Amino acid sequence: MRLGVIDVGSNTVHLLVVDAHPGASPVPYHSQRSTLRLMRYLDADGAINEEGVRRIVAAVKESAETARDIGVDDLISTATSAIREATNGEEVLARIARETGVELHVLSGEDEARITMLAVRRWLGWSAGEILLFDIGGGSFEIAQGADEYPDVQASLPLGAGRTTVGFLAEDPPQRADISRLRAHARAELTRLRDELFADRPRPKRVVGTSKTIRSLARLVGGPSDPVTGDLAQLHYAGLREWEPSLRAMTGAAREHLPGITPERGYQILAGAVVLRTAMKVFDVQTMTISPWALREGIVLRYIDALDGRDRAFGARTAGPEESVSISSSPWRSERSS
């Protein structure tokens, strides 16, 4: 079947279309992004302003029209921290549904962490053992750990690259004192989280980073993927520390021309680097493996798992349109909310 996922994040609206069926790896068919940078459209009360709402509506409408033109069999539409934490989030969701016909399912930060861990585990396999996962988005930073497909502990912090850029690094390039202030804030939040939730966890066999900010930094610091295997280069703490002064000295526009840094990431990649390096320091991480699969792939995998289970219940026959897995069945929700 051909499945579409619309993911409304803090930085982009991303449409991913894959060909997928139970027992096989999802095969990408189409991918498109619309840049949002929603952190720039928050007012003093934390509401998304009119211009920001118009940009979301236009991007979701374009994605839905593309999915319809492609002819997807089902379309999953989700939203993460930007809409989840906006004070007018419910009004924005209602307007999106009214003007585009798309009803977004808002994922919690913990759901993001759990679903992303599923994708990472499926990508790396069981031999990866105990995994500590870092996932930096535009608005939030998810951390999870466990030895199974879903983590034993997970958390979400408001330390996304876009959010911390707007909140701490307003000047371009930023002042050294502002970077120090961001680092101190991140260290305090991450240390508290480590001591409260992760102190009793075993030392991970593999530390894994995913999503665009971390993948961009890994490309910058570690170089291109392996030409034979296609594996993404690892990210080393020492290399990230060496690159930070150069990123600090550049404007956001200049950073866009660095290897691996796309135009929509240049303005926020420094904050992402500061937060990530702080996290690696707090959690005593020297080397990080990079997973190309993240939240969207996890959503697809949960959908396929639900489809597989239902088809087995129906004797492995092909389900009719009236039986399609939809957002109402929420196959990507955490077990706690199921």
Q: What is the pLDDT along the chain (338 residues), one digit of tens a residue?
A: 999 999 999 989 999 999 998 888 999 999 999 999 898 899 999 999 999 999 999 999 999 999 999 999 999 999 999 999 999 999 999 999 999 999 999 999 999 999 999 999 999 999 999 999 999 999 999 999 999 999 999 999 999 999 999 999 989 999 999 999 999 999 999 999 999 999 999 999 999 999 999 999 999 999 999 999 889 999 999 999 999 999 999 999 999 999 999 888 899 999 999 999 999 999 999 999 999 999 999 999 999 998 877 555 444 433 333 333 333 334 333 333 33
Going from the C-alpha of 47 to that of each of 24, 40, 60, 190, 286, the distances in angstroms are 42, 11, 19, 26, 38
How confident is the model at residue 312, as a pLDDT?
A: 53
Going from the C-alpha of 61 to that of each of 52, 64, 68, 201, the distances in angstroms are 14, 5, 11, 43
CB 48 within 8 A of CB 86: yes
Nearest to 10 by CA among 142, 131, 114, 122: 142
Backbone angle region of 37, left / alpha / beta, with phi > 0 → left and psi within -120 to 50 → alpha: left
How confident is the model at residue 264, as a pLDDT?
A: 81
Give every strand in the sheet of 27-35, ordered side by side: 27-35, 12-19, 2-8, 74-79, 105-106
Q: How far from the centroid of its chain's Cα atoms is residue 185's Cα?
A: 22
Separation between Cα atoms, residue 73 and residue 21, nearest integer Å? 12
pTM attached to this predicted model? 0.90
Separation between Cα atoms, residue 295 and residue 301, nearest integer Å? 10
Separation between Cα atoms, residue 307 and residue 298, nearest integer Å? 14
User: How many CB atoms neighbour CB 130 within 10 A?
Assistant: 16
How confident is the model at residue 143, as a pLDDT?
A: 98
Nearest to 295 by CA among 107, 59, 30: 107
Q: Is the dihedral of CA 307, 310, 312, 314 positive or negative?
A: negative
CB 156 within 8 A of CB 231: no
Q: The tokens of 75 are what?
A: 């379309």
Helix 109-124 to helix 295-313 angle (10° resolution) is: 80
How confident is the model at residue 332, as a pLDDT?
A: 37
DSSP conformation class of 197: I
Nearest to 182 by CA among 250, 271, 279: 271
Sequence-distant (6+) residues with CB within 8 A of 103 are 77, 93, 96, 97, 327
What phi and psi values does residue 105 have, to the nearest 5 degrees? -95, 120
Report the amino acid identity of residue 206: R
CB 198 within 8 A of CB 145: yes
